[in-house]
Structure 1
């Protein structure tokens, strides 16, 4: 972050996607400084790990408010500007994990599945205005999301699922392995796709992305079998 602050090519601005005031302030300042918005990347997200039957309601609300509603907030803020120019690109970040839902990640998976559906509809609605809409479904990308997920759920008390407490925490780090794709590599690959004149409606990249895309087309009994094996380590 400090490197970006000292780089004249970047204009850093604080943005809270769950705040209407923060959204309006950010978009207004960007347009004032640069005169236009070419690309919107909806990448804000939080992880939520735990058994659905016992997850704190506040954790579920935070996940959906950030992962799902954050994107439409930003979309509604920039679309009038893009539509007036008949030009623009919107990128929504999903997750390849929706190809095979696993235990302890129901809320996160549901939020990303919603993003996929939302993007498919938005792509059709905005085509008339010359706005391209793309969804990127990352595989395992190195980030701090697992540490944040464990911290957010550290106060949760599992009753029915107390014997699974260690396994639940392990699920948070499923995407964080020594072979996970570095964030800068993911960013470079994503940018290369987005800068095309006609970006694809969907693309995926990162560790596990190919195998997960294949598993998506498998029958449910096979997906359940694989998920159980993964959870047992």
Structure 2
């Protein structure tokens, strides 16, 4: 029997790559999008979903279960980027980021778990970020929301093992997607105390995304995790130096690691 997979944020970027790869492997794949009507050429069905709306979450999960009778894999991929000096980011944008990157995945997990418990099996893969392992300058909100999802996963994983359900994180580095265009950028304020440093850091960040890895790597990583009967707690996918930065954070004294990051961003 083909496994039924639901991928949030499946209309573009990493989510689209995962959906197309799994479809080609014979999985029954559903994706989600806030506006599925805009993606009529999708190679797998898209369900309307804004993960910030718990009612829409319940309807989307319910739709897949009604159609297929089960849900074997939930990939929490929907997310948004955010950059800016913390002092200058509106509170509404910070809340929106956490609603999308943290509370949205929490709601989808809560909606899928009863069915998985009923089945006695299931797998939830949370797409986090290597940025979630460290506080990054002008990306502190993004780092915090992704880091929080990592820790939620660690705790929940232990709670649901008794039901035959597995939960894991896959943390990507920089990939060549449209996330930079879709993220919230706090505007560069002329005369701001942060103007010069933020401008330089923003340029560095966008360059990293533009020259990032192929999203196909993430699709292949998700496939391998699905095939693993006992997945690990954490996976990292991306360039060697990005993954190695997590090792350095554990090994180096805090101030030395901070200095390394500041040098990298020319701060």
What TM-score comes out, normalization by structure 2 length?
0.78
Q: Secondary structure at the match of 2:209?
A: coil
1:168 CA displacement: 4.1
User: Contact 1:100–1:215 (CA<8 Å) still a contact in 2?
Assistant: no
Q: Secondary structure at the match of 1:92?
A: strand
1:62 CA displacement: 0.9
Cα separation, 2, equivalents of 1:128 and 1:209:
34
Cα separation, 1, equivalents of 2:207 and 2:102:
22
Give 2:24's aligned residue: none
Select the residue among 5, 16, 34 that pairs with 2:50.
16
1:6–1:163 Cα change, 3 Å = closer
User: Contact 1:47–1:148 (CA<8 Å) still a contact in 2?
Assistant: yes
Select the residue among 171, 183, 200 that pairs with 1:167.
200
Alignment of 1:63-212 (within 5 A): 63-149=97-183, 152-153=184-185, 155=187, 157=189, 159-173=192-206, 175-178=208-211, 180-207=212-239, 208-212=241-245
Cα separation, 2, equivalents of 1:6 and 1:203:
31
Specify which structure has the higher proportion of strand.
2
Segment of structure 1 superposing worse, 36-45 or 184-193: 184-193
Unaligned stretches of 5+ in structure 2?
1-10, 21-39
Q: Secondary structure at the match of 1:89?
A: strand
RMSD between aligned residues: 2.3
Unaligned stretches of 5+ in structure 1?
none
1:76 CA displacement: 0.8
